[in-house]
Structure 1
Amino acid sequence: MYPLKFKPILKSTLWGGERIIPFKQLDCQQEQVGESWEISDVPGDESVVAEGADAGKNLTQLMEEYKGKLVGEENYKRFQGKFPLLIKFIDAKQDLSIQVHPDDELAMKRHQSMGKTEMWYIIDNTGGQAHLYSGLKKQITPQEYADMIENNTICDALDKYDVQPGDVFFLPAGRIHSIGAGCFLAEIQQTSNITYRIYDFNRRDKNGNLRELHTELSKDAIDYTVSDDYRTHYEPRKDEPVELVSCPYFTTSVYNLTETMNMDYSELDSFVIYICMKGACTVTDNEGNRISVKAGESVLFPATTQNLEVVPEGEVSFLETYV
């Protein structure tokens, strides 16, 4: 097997901006692109291989053909033949709705789906101004929560953060959250498209209708625990990995490289994904496959990968994630 790039799945949204297409250096015209699904095995939105011997095959077909060679033997068993992660870039020109996602148990019971734990890495903020909501800042009961939805005061109970490039937020299933206007970010999440919309600022869609809210469904999905700080704190370093998140669903580190680095994955029973945010590099695997990676691209290295040599062109910044 060889390193895989996929054709992006661009999604225009009510709140989307104009940054994803130039960031990814795509030659296409599409307005209000809020999301680029980089690597997806969500039914109906399966990523298609862009180049090489497997060009034209989608991720579901790759899973059926390569199984553990693609994702790792234990991952293949654990996730029952489904690719476990969904990788996105998100550009919010306007606020997204306030949301929550169910955990595995509740999502399986209600939707026959995995739950949705995710993380955000802020790539940019428009003109230095961007914010998001993450978690509760005060204790409320499920009934108080429903009342606050009804009287449009739910934001009063949420922790609001002004964000800068490099900020990281981990969002376990059950944590209320919302991406605010000005955020441009990379998102790593479980393969699930189950979202409960809590509040949408009374916005109307293109047909003039209020968007559906899921107050009763979300009431049971919320983790009502209150924490002092929901931001992930870390010290950026050059030319060495900095771990950001380690959870049962993914482990993610950030790299800022100015010199060649050799990555040893010989003991890892998992695929590895690089999500490039800045600069460019050339990556060569143990079988001699060489691939160029630049800002806006995501690459899937199969579980058969033993080691990689990463040669930056000047400086390169990317996220590394695996299960």
Structure 2
Amino acid sequence: MKDDLYLLKFEPILKEKIWGGSRLKELFGKKSTSSKTGESWEISDVENNSSIVKNGTLKGKTIQWLLEEYREKFVGKKVFEVFGNKFPLLIKFIDAAETLSVQLHPDDKIAKEKHNSFGKTEMWYIMQAGKDAELILGFGGEMSKSKYKNLVETGELAGALNREKVDQGDAFIIKPGLIHAIGAGVVLAEIQQTSDLTYRIYDWDRDAGNGEKRELHTELAMEAIDLSGKEDFRINYKPIPNAAAEVINTKYFRTNIIQANGNLSRDYTQLDSFVILIGVEGGSVVSYRGKSEELKRGETLLVPASIEKIVIEGDKAKILEVSL
């Protein structure tokens, strides 16, 4: 007989990056020995990066195993019908000690044709931002393909990019084709489609550490880039005291922000989806049928679709609540 599903925590998968730092360890207690830890993959079904349960009777089982064994009880009936034995979201924390490469992501069509992969739509929530911290999002003015190509070829792309100042609590949607980069001094939570596809355009001429520069994907990016100039990347939302408020609802994921100070009940009876809770501020305890799990800032908790109701006891907590 299978064990019942419960509130699941997973072992973080830490990624060393040329631009990474030490704040994932300092702020969130991630167990890293590197001073260049750029990412903590909290929940992942990316090939060769399958998350492993760290709590309870299913400790040691992979997310792939959970999908195969529990199917719709784990992810929801509709989600399983669409995605089968593939978990649809990748959840990360990112520490940019240095500015990331200027890059973009392909949409579903290009990703399927060229890489047999999902495309990559992602959302960012700023958890910490240093003084004058910024993101690169799009261009500072109108852009054509010929102008863009010339800027890339002459090495003058950086001067044409749009820079957005950021503060803790700011949220952004990064659609496929949008040229972007996370600036130095930013720590954020990222919600995205399960995809590890990135087209790198410019990397600040830095050495990858082996005397070589990192590979660029100039031609792939040219095909995938969005030059429409739409500035629809900043998300405007309003938290509600001791309640959940919508941040964004896309075809790939829905994100609410829960502001909890005291007890708050969440009813997922009508949802037909798993729920991921991401601690972004303060601390909380999440309970289900008398069992509870602590959710600190910088931690993630997965509520299987078979769990219909939970209680959150928060201490000035802010939690991203993600579902399909």
TM-score by length of 2: 0.95
The 1:134–1:301 alpha-carbon spacing in structure 2 relative to 1, beyond 3 Å, is same
Q: Which residue, 1, 8, 13 being the options, matches 1:4?
A: 8
Q: Distance in 1 between matches of 2:183 and 2:30?
A: 25
Q: Alignment partner for residue 196 of structure 2, among 193, 196, 216?
A: 193
2:244 is aligned with 1:263: no
3-state SS in 1 of match to 2:38: strand
- Residue of 288, 291, 295 corresponding to 2:297: 295
Deviations 1:240-291 (A, max 9, x none): 2221111000000112211211101000010000000122111112x33321
The equivalent of 1:59 in structure 2 is 63
Deviations 1:226-247 (A, max 9, x none): 1245311223332122211110
Which stretches in structure 2 are left out of the alignment for 5+ residues? none
> Aligned to 1:218, which of 210, 216, 221?
221
Q: Judge conservation of contact 1:89–1:187 (CA < 8 Å) in 2.
A: yes
Whether the aligned pair in 2 keeps the contact of 1:41 and 1:82 (CA below 8 Å) is: yes
Shift of 1:27: 4.7
Q: Which amino acid aligns with 2:103?
A: Q
Secondary structure at 2:147's aligned position in 1? helix
SS of structure 2 residue aligned to 1:38: strand
| Cα drift, residue 129 of structure 1 | 2.8
User: Letter of the aligned partner of 1:193 in structure 2?
Assistant: D
Describe the shift of the 1:175–1:27 C-alpha distance in structure 2 as closer, same or farther (beyond 3 A).
closer
The answer as to whether partners of 1:135 and 1:230 remain within 8 angstroms in 2 is no
Task: Give identity over the alignment, percent.
Answer: 43
Note if contact 1:265-1:307 (Cα within 8 Å) is conserved in structure 2. yes
The question of whether the paired residues in 2 share the 8 Å contact of 1:132 and 1:162 is answered with yes
Give the C-alpha shift of residue 294 in structure 1.
1.1
1:159-238 alignment to 2 at 5 Å? 159-228=162-231, 230-238=233-241
Q: CA-to-partner distance for each residue in 1:142-192, whole Å, 9 max, x for gaps? A: 232221111122233332111100011101111111001011000000000
- Change beyond 3 A, Cα 1:146–1:80: farther
Q: 1:80 to 1:229 in 2, by over 3 A?
A: closer
The question of whether the paired residues in 2 share the 8 Å contact of 1:92 and 1:180 is answered with yes
Which residue identity lines up with residue 67 of structure 2 in the other structure? M
Q: Is the 8 A contact 1:136 1:227 kept in 2?
A: no
Q: 1:117 aligns with which of 114, 121, 146?
A: 121
- TM superposition shift of 1:112: 0.3
Between the aligned partners of 2:146 and 2:193, the Cα distance in structure 1 is 29
The residue type paired with residue 291 of structure 1 is: E
Shift in Å, 1:216: 0.5
Question: How far apart, in 2, do the equivalents of 1:53 and 1:142 lie?
Answer: 55
Which of 143, 149, 165 is the matching residue for 1:146? Answer: 149
- Report whether the alignment pairs 1:84 with 2:88: yes
1:105 aligns with 2:109: yes
| Contact residue 136 and residue 180 of structure 2 kept, 8 A | yes
**1:228–1:55 CA distance, 2 compared to 1 (3 A):** closer
Indicate the residue corresponding to 1:41 in structure 2.
45
Structure 1 unaligned segments of length 5 or more: list them.
none
Change (3 A) 1:229 1:15: same
Q: Secondary structure at the match of 1:203?
A: coil
Quote the residue 1:308 is aligned against. 310
Aligned with 1:220: secondary structure?
helix
Report deviation, 1:120: 0.4
Q: Please say which of residues 194-203 and 74-83 is displaced more in the overlay.
A: 74-83
Output the CA distance in 2 between the equivalents of 1:116 and 1:26: 26
Aligned length: 320
Match of 1:282 in 2: 285
1:109 partner SS = helix
User: What amino acid does structure 2 have at the position aligned with 1:33?
Assistant: T
The worse-fitting range, judged by mean Cα deviation, of 140-149 and 245-254 is 140-149
Structure 2 residue identity aligned to 1:261: L
